[in-house]
Structure 1
Amino acid sequence: MSDAIRVPYNYLPMQFADYSEIAAGWDALIKTADFTLGAFMEKFESEFADYIGSPHCLATNNGTDALILALKALGIGPGDEVITPCNSFYATTGAIVAVGATPIFCDVDERFQADVDDMDRRVTPRTKALLPVHWAGASPDMVKVMDLAQSHGLLVLEDACMAIGGKVHGQSPGTFGDMGAFSMHPLKTLNVMGDGGMVITKDDDGMRWMLQYRNHGMVDRDHIDIWGVNMRLQPLQAVVASHMLTSLDERLARRREIQRTYDEHLGALGPSIVVPPRADWNPETVSLYMFQADNRDDLIAHLVANGVEAKVHYPVPLHLQKPGHELGYGPGDMPGAEAQADRLVTLPAHEYLTELQVELAMGVVEDALARR
């Protein structure tokens, strides 16, 4: 960590400073030479299914492929519309486009989550599915999402990539819909040393299809039933995932402590700072700690100049990106997300921050406001 960076956003060097237990797992794997699928990956899939509360889990090479695989398994393709929020990472919408379907954007609420009422307004006869996102580690009210889906006869795929370890009305994100997709990107709450992902489902037939499609459609070494691709997680990463899962709840508890501290301090700074409301029914994973601020760019510059690695997630909503314009969207179509995009600030909030670093970050924010 640079001396100039006093409150770092990237915590991976600290997280993997001691990887001796992971290395021991790798050593055991190497002795088996079980480098494609195999027992180590099946072990992680079983562990994650138990943790999340799903009968089936299938590991993939990243979260994007998890979304694509789930969409294909649900039979979504050309001619279908999928409603999804406009403030997610590119991968959510990219997966919809990758299977030939049409993304239909909806606006977001004050918690940065999909506006379920706006989802309802955007349903058409071509709508096949809802794809809510558990953005930043918080969650939309999935009970309302599922009620909406049931009222229109729609499928639901949850993008829970940021919400591993969270709860929604006591239930794990990803387990409400027909399928749930997760990511183990290095800066997700459950992460590996590279990329990884998972799909969960209650559907036995869907699980069987995904197992085949993930592995080239193979029935055995010499036969295929379908044309498939390679979406397999590397067993080396499965070893890392199994190890990281054991400490996940403890690490999330620390993130929530930091969230409460930030909320308390920022919430007392006046109307120029807006902290999103928290829902008692939604213990968050704090994958991102986001709030809104007047003169956002000046605040970010002051934070960075004083060693706090603040970021923005993201300054341009998906409907205002170039491919969003090509879908027919423009300024003013999503007023909630557009107003937020100009004001969003993300602070480091990972479990490796000390109390002193948390206090330092708050002090720099207070100093920036005092200079106005």
Structure 2
Amino acid sequence: MIKFYDLKKVNQRYEAAFHEKFEQFMQRGWYILGDEVALFEENFANYCQSKHCVGVGNGLDALVLIFKAYIELGKLEKGDEVIVPANTYIASILAILQADLVPVLVEPKLETFNLNPDLIVEKITSKTKAILVVHLYGQLTEMDKIEAIAKQNNLLVIEDAAQSHGTDSGVKSSESGVGIAKAYSFYPSKNLGCLGDGGAVVTNDDDLNSIIRAMRNYGSEKKYVNDFIGINSRLDELQAAFLNVKLPDLDADNQKRREIANRYLDEIKNDKVALPFYDGSTNHVFHLFVIRTENRNELQEYLKENGIETMIHYPVPPHQQKALKEFNSLSFPITEKIHREVLSLPISPELAEEEVSRIIYALNHY
């Protein structure tokens, strides 16, 4: 069986380095917010061409902390509206709700799966204060268009970059005046994944950085002195150590993903399968390679019978989830079509050429 994503295989090449990091961790005897977290924050900020990186407990917390910090800064108020793609993973919407803000769902483009800039303006009201873009499946959203809309309407732009480690966006656009922050997840299956949960906020905003740095640690910059209503969401010292080991290979691993994606795009020839859009640039890191088909369950079963494991990202759109019952009566035809048809093929830096060939062969004979 070709596994969808073999985590054991992905991390096997780092085993010796992980053991060495663990020994250093044990010898140091400092387990929370130590040298490894500080080093990773420096390393990842540099990698993202950013001034600041704040390590937090997970990607959801990273988003929540961004919104809550903007409330502390007076740039958002509870009850403000935040535009968000309707077809995102539910965590994007949960973050908005957990910060006491109001999500306004907007359809994506069918070709890219990302937020459609042409549909944003009609959803802007006097209460709209921010746009949360999601670089779904690893492909950068059309940021130039969205930043122009944000600037014209004095909106904040926040990026859910949980699936897009290594795209060409950087955080240079913070100089545009609309303000920007990016939330990352280091969940084990991400392009840069640790061996547990982890996340980070990346920003060029000095004030935002200071508040989030305090808020992740009970709202405290100085021990026993609490300036904000904070939470406990600190990147684990050991997970930071593992991320420091893996970060130097991220670009090479992303390039391997693109090579596999290019083979799929060039060699899969089946009218029943719609392939994803890719412009050939480094604006896509192929966290997932997502095809569409009208017979999704049938195709998934066929591939399973041929020894190929696939996944569905995601089977139920957020507005149809029981947890979001206030949205259940809404209709988003493009989002619903995407969630009904998508199927993710194996794509991993550890995938062998012959395995890629087997997957292509199976799809061409479906």
What range is the shorter-chain TM-score in? over 0.9
Determine the structure 2 residue equivalent to 1:279. Answer: 279
User: Pairwise mapping of residues 113-262 of structure 1 onto structure 2 (< 5 A)?
Assistant: 113-167=114-168, 171-172=169-170, 178-262=180-264
Determine the structure 1 residue equivalent to 2:30. Answer: 34
TM-score of the superposed pair, with normalisation by structure 1: 0.92
Q: Structure 2 counterpart of 1:41, which letter?
A: V
Percent identity, please.
31
Query: Whole-Å Cα distance in 1 between the matches of residues 224 and 66 of structure 2?
Result: 26
Cα RMSD (Å) = 1.6
Q: Structure 1 counterpart of 2:64, which letter?
A: I
Q: Deviations over 1:257-315 (max 9, x none)?
A: 0000011122x322x22112212455311101001113121111101122111111112
User: Pairwise mapping of residues 1-372 of structure 1 onto structure 2 (< 5 A)?
Assistant: 5=1, 7-18=2-13, 19-75=15-71, 76-109=76-109, 110-167=111-168, 171-172=169-170, 178-266=180-268, 268-270=269-271, 272-327=272-327, 329-330=329-330, 333-368=331-366
Tell me the CA shift for residue 360 of structure 1. Answer: 0.8
Q: Answer yes or no: is the 8 Å Cα contact 1:77–1:99 preserved in 2.
A: no
Query: Whole-Å Cα distance in 2 between the matches of residues 174 and 28 of structure 1?
Result: 35
Query: 1:174–1:41: structure 2 CA closer, same or farther, 3 Å change rule?
Result: farther
Query: Whole-Å Cα distance in 2 between the matches of residues 286 and 172 of structure 1?
Result: 17
Query: Whole-Å Cα distance in 1 between the matches of residues 322 and 287 of structure 2?
Result: 27
Query: Whole-Å Cα distance in 2 between the matches of residues 283 and 223 of structure 1?
Result: 43
Deviant stretches of 4+, over 4 Å: 173-177
**Which is worse superposed, 287-296 or 252-261?**
287-296
What SS does the corresponding residue of 2:159 show, helix, strand or coil? strand
Q: Answer yes or no: is the 8 Å Cα contact 2:311–2:344 preserved in 1.
A: yes
TM-score of the superposed pair, with normalisation by structure 2: 0.93
Query: Whole-Å Cα distance in 2 between the matches of residues 98 and 365 of structure 1?
Result: 42
Q: Structure 2 counterpart of 1:64, which letter?
A: L
Query: 1:69–1:286: structure 2 CA closer, same or farther, 3 Å change rule?
Result: same
What SS does the corresponding residue of 1:132 show, helix, strand or coil? strand
Segments of 5+ residues of structure 2 without an aligned counterpart are none
What SS does the corresponding residue of 2:12 show, helix, strand or coil? coil
Query: 1:119–1:111: structure 2 CA closer, same or farther, 3 Å change rule?
Result: same
Segments of 5+ residues of structure 1 without an aligned counterpart are none
Query: Whole-Å Cα distance in 2 between the matches of residues 21 and 180 of structure 1?
Result: 29
Query: Whole-Å Cα distance in 2 between the matches of residues 348 and 335 of structure 1?
Result: 27
Tell me the CA shift for residue 347 of structure 1. Answer: 0.2
What SS does the corresponding residue of 2:196 show, helix, strand or coil? coil
Aligned residues: 356
Q: Answer yes or no: is the 8 Å Cα contact 1:139–1:173 preserved in 2.
A: no
Q: Answer yes or no: is the 8 Å Cα contact 2:270–2:363 preserved in 1.
A: no
Q: Answer yes or no: is the 8 Å Cα contact 1:274–1:292 preserved in 2.
A: yes
